[in-house]
Structure 1
Amino acid sequence: MREALHVIDNELVKLPYSATDDEVNNFKKLAKKEIYQCPYCQARLIVKHGEERGLYFSHQHSEACEESRMVDKAEKKYTKQIERESKLHKVLIDIILDELEIKSKVNKEMFVNVGYKAKTDWKEYPDIYVKIPKKELAVSIITNVSPSDDSKLAQQIKKRHEYFLDKGVEPIWFIEKKEQAIEKDKSSIILWDAELSIALKTREDNIWDKLISNEVADEKFFDYFNYPSSFIERVDVRSLYYIYNNDEKVVIKVQRFLKDRVLKPLRAFLVNEGYELPFAEALAVEDGFKLSNPEIESEQRKAFQEKIKQKKESFAEQLRYQEEMRKLRLEQEEEERKRKAEEQDLILKELLEQRKGDKINTELNYNELKRLLKERIGLTQKEQMELWTRHMPKIGINNSRVVWELVIENNCTSFNELRPILENK
């Protein structure tokens, strides 16, 4: 066993994993004076110390009671369950456990213990088990997520989450802050499978649902935020709780998002920038853990609505600007087309002037006609072939000038406009 009840004040005593020789000897002296006893069978406990297990309690002659053996067996299963976690995992558990134990001393109706000790017969264990009036909570922490184990971890989390629910226990998940990845320019958060699996649905999320539902009816809603929406079948705001050390104190960051993609990359729409909660406030017990600040939530919803208003105005202004630029571009293109047409007419006049004295041939040759038609009406290779094989034999192979004059007289801007004129010639 690793823990025991102090016989004087009935408080749970925790031995440090490592200790100096003097500290080890002192703990052993206390044990000899029968100050420690098993919390299950009340038998006297001794203190042992070894390289593998560190400092720990043991029954005399290692004859553990049945309850203790069940705890040891559960501890081994739990150790295997968390073997993928980082060293920070244990640190965070101890911090949360200490905070909850302090609260349980004030709230006598609150029971707190490590998960595998509270529920030795379970197949899955939370890191911490909490019982309050009318509710049981399973607190778990996720660290050390990597691409190689993300999908497998997500499946394990889903299985564990459903198991807790089947046991009538509400799962509460925290995740290491370093896993958070945000695209600010797209108002989005990119999630691990594991993160999406542990996202919770709280009372505050339901309030956000109502607000977002009124806004997403606008089909341009996500365009305002430059968010690349996938297919949001229904509004479903979820929350994640990131845990980390900030300025030498542990805080929880509350992050809410609108669930979107269920295929990688798992992108979701950020409904707010998130906010930090002091650790003690986040774990305040109401009907479960508080996990939010209603005043901040109200302020952020108001800020969100104001942001939408500003985004709409900015988006409308951008559309007006784009339309003005489009009209200007079309005007410039039309002016350029007219200029080229005038240049082509001038070229033709100059060419005919140069050939006035040529008694043998005063007509355009076909190559010159092709060049002029390409510049004037954008003649394509396919249209050129049609002109040569279908229309020129009827007009006359050497009558290129006739074709050009028809273009000028009818102010043709495309071969489609010229074609019926040629067919009626």
Structure 2
Amino acid sequence: MKIAVIGCGYLGAVHAAAMASLGYETVGVDVDEAKIERLRRGEPPFYEPGLPELLRAGVDAGTLRFTTDVAEAAGSDVVFIAVGTPQRAGSDAADLTYVDAAIESLLPHLTEGTLVAGKSTVPVGTAQRLADLVTPTGARLAWNPEFLREGFAVEDTLTPDRLVYGVADADDASVARLDEVYATILARGTDRLVVNFATAELVKVSANAFLATKISFINAMAELSETVGADVTQLADAIGLDARIGRRFLNAGLGFGGGCLPKDIRAFQARAEELGHGQTLGFLREVDQINLRRRDRMVEVIDRELAAVGGDRVAMLGLAFKPNSDDVRDSPALDVSRRLQEGGRVVKAYDPEAAETARWVLPTLDIVGSIEEAIRGADVLALGTEWQHFRDLDPAEVAGMTAARVVVDGRNALDAAAWAAAGFKVIGLGRPDTVPAA
């Protein structure tokens, strides 16, 4: 079987490498020549655990290649569409420019029996519109949404918890073709759902909307906890023991970011409004606002603690929106760093993987090359991303490097008792302060 993947960004590069690892002759196509050159060398253009090895194996074996020429997708049995759908400038809606361009570039190269399978996250109604363009060529269209987590993308592609096929009525041929593609995965007993186009389009955005709502719910409880003196982490532990609720995604702190959840919930709301159901998803606006308020709160707490110690130097630990990624799109840690700088604070930031991407987004930020360089002389340590590197820090060693012993734990990830034992005041969002013993 021959596979083509249009779009070699985060989703597409991982998917292409995964398809090659399953034994298929795979070609990845992208308009970015610099990105393609890196991929040809087996070098991913972003940080993702496990991907370098998968890429190099495919390139070295000759089952995986990359090109800027979409004509090389001609003759493929399946062409996956894996381009980005960013937030449209000046609007909450999704920008489908790249999806439409991918389909337009493919049309002259489609032949009878080719399956075009969309993986990009698109507004409901998009697949049917694209099917109307694809089917006159003799090709078919299906929608096969992705459910990748950054930092676990290879695992999520090769061992997903479910596969969803969105197909037209009675399109058994598309189902059979996708079953062939995913035969190795299905053989492990992976759940497979065959649905219509609209359902497939709603699955990904519905999942992201639910997760975002769960995260913002516990952060709303953090707001109340800070007022009444409760501990939101203990609260999450207690309600998470309810099997109907569960503990996952109930970690209060600085909130969510990245290239999916924020833009997807906004696009979902925008599409609901276009369909005359704005009130149905109106709660997502408050979900978004709760999330953004946690950044405000982090800045407020840091400013308060700086005023208390009479300093202005902040060590920001972490810049990626989550650990095991170099993605700084809508990163809460980077946003807080920017706001602190704009407020006249001196910020030294460190991230083990996201320094390069962060410099591109915020070139004025002083991003240093080591944890030690960031924390030396700092008046406040701020945890912005819960990398294991930071969880493993020895508070006693850190104590000797800082000007004042204050930690603002934006992820509630540190051992507050251990840090307090080393002489630090620890402030966790939604938790009572942990202070050194007198």
TM-score normalised by structure 1 residue count: 0.26
Larger Rg: 1
Higher relative contact order (CA 8 A, sep 6+): 2
- More strand as a share of residues: 1
